[in-house]
Amino acid sequence: MLYINGTVCISPQNTSDNSVFLPEVKPYTGNKIYCVDVDYTKFFDPGSIRRMGRLIKFGTAAGMLTLKDAGVETPGAISTGTGYGLMDVSQKFLHNVIDSNETSVSPTSFIQSTHNTVSSNIALMSGCHAHNNTFAHRGFSFESSLLDAFLLAKEGYDNILVGAYDEVSDHSYRSMKRLGLLREEPCTNTELFTAEQKGTIAGEAAAFFLLSKEKNENTYGAFAGCKTFSAPANADELKSITTAFLSANNLSANELDVVVSGHCGDSRLDALNEALIDSLFTQQTILVYKQLCGEYMTSSAFAAWLAARIMKLQSIPETLIKVNRQRQPKNILLYNSHRGNHALLLFKHV
């Protein structure tokens, strides 16, 4: 079990200020939503800001704000996850090469195009010379970074900065549209779950966590377990996997208080979520979250940030509630899926 001693999220909602918790829901119309920017001049000089891609800015800022929230200047290790990474910056570099007829071009876009640019920026700014890893495992990217942190803790590392970040890039948006994953008609995010429809909305965010082996006065809660698996054959197999995961963590379904479900608003994809809830979680409060951040490969990190805030405050914003059974949020399970990648994350109030 690793304690969450600091966390910050930059998302399409006003989530970067930990003095408030979802004070209001920002409405968006369309099939893609973007992050609310923070004051990046607190982290970068104006000249650097102009040369940076959006994901570098809000990803690095989220990581540095998390260190500040935890009261830690230098993390003991860094482990991050991302789906598409800096795809827009990579494409910009390639376009520059083509436009210049393959002659000399500015190296800035190339230098900033790698998936680990964000974690490297955080390491340079915080003076971290230890373990630094970035996972690009599609829908398992955040979970891979979290599992990495559990292994690092066993090796003696502490104050591990874990996070995930993705953006709505031209490439990711076109990919989702080509695969028929997006709403065809304009959709307001606050009405994502009001009717059964095909398609969802593309989103983005960056969420980070400072994980430690010991709790302190700032502890939000704890990551108690994580499991990833691919393409369960049916709802019965999903139920069996979930039950076994809870049993391995010395819990039964009845001992869970809250289930955070990765419903995305696409009736074709949400059917499995509904089947799991109907068969196993009839006594728990059910929450949904993708109306706030949209769908993307590492959206489970946004949900983990929500779980951390809920555990610390012991209250649940109304906008998240799908089914309210008045359970005090002590044990929280997150179930998320993304195109065949399924994950279970267990949180405990401490």
Contact between 80 and 298 (Cβ < 8 Å): no
The two structure tokens encoding residue 21: 């918790």
**Local structure of 135: helix, strand or coil:** strand
Q: Which of 347, 260, 245 is nearest to 299 (CA)?
A: 260
3-state secondary structure of 321: strand
Instruction: Look at residue 335 in the predicted model and tell me its pLDDT.
Output: 98
Q: What is the pLDDT of residue 306?
A: 98
Closest CA to 111 of 48, 67, 62: 48
Distance CA 134, CA 256 (A): 31
* Cα–Cα distance, 312 to 302 (Å, whole number): 16
Element (H, E) at 59: helix 54-70
Return the DSSP state at 115.
Answer: T
| DSSP-derived 3-state class of residue 323 | strand
DSSP string covering 156-217: T--SEEEEEEE---HHHHHHHHHTT-B-SS-EEGGGTTSS-BS-B-B--EEEEEEEESS--T
Q: What is the residue-level pLDDT of the chain in tens, covering all 350 positions?
A: 999 999 999 999 999 999 999 989 999 999 999 999 999 999 998 888 888 889 999 999 999 999 999 999 999 999 999 998 887 777 777 777 787 888 777 777 777 778 899 999 999 999 999 999 999 999 999 999 999 999 999 999 999 999 999 999 888 899 999 999 999 988 999 999 988 899 999 999 999 999 999 999 999 999 999 999 999 999 999 999 999 999 999 999 999 999 999 999 999 999 999 999 999 999 999 999 999 999 999 999 999 999 999 999 999 999 999 999 999 999 999 999 998 999 999 999 99
29: left (phi over 0), alpha (psi -120 to 50) or beta: beta
pTM (2 d.p.):
0.95
Q: What is the DSSP string of 242-287?
A: HHHHHHHTT--GGG--EEEE---SBHHHHHHHHHHHHHH-SSSEEE
Superfamily of domain 221-348: Thiolase/Chalcone synthase (3.40.47.10)
DSSP β-bridge partners for residue 165: 206
Residue 33 belongs to what H/E stretch? none
Residues carrying CATH 3.40.47.10, the chain: 2-212, 221-348
The answer to whether 87 and 110 have CB atoms below 8 angstroms apart is no
**CATH architecture entry for 2-212:** 3-Layer(aba) Sandwich (3.40)
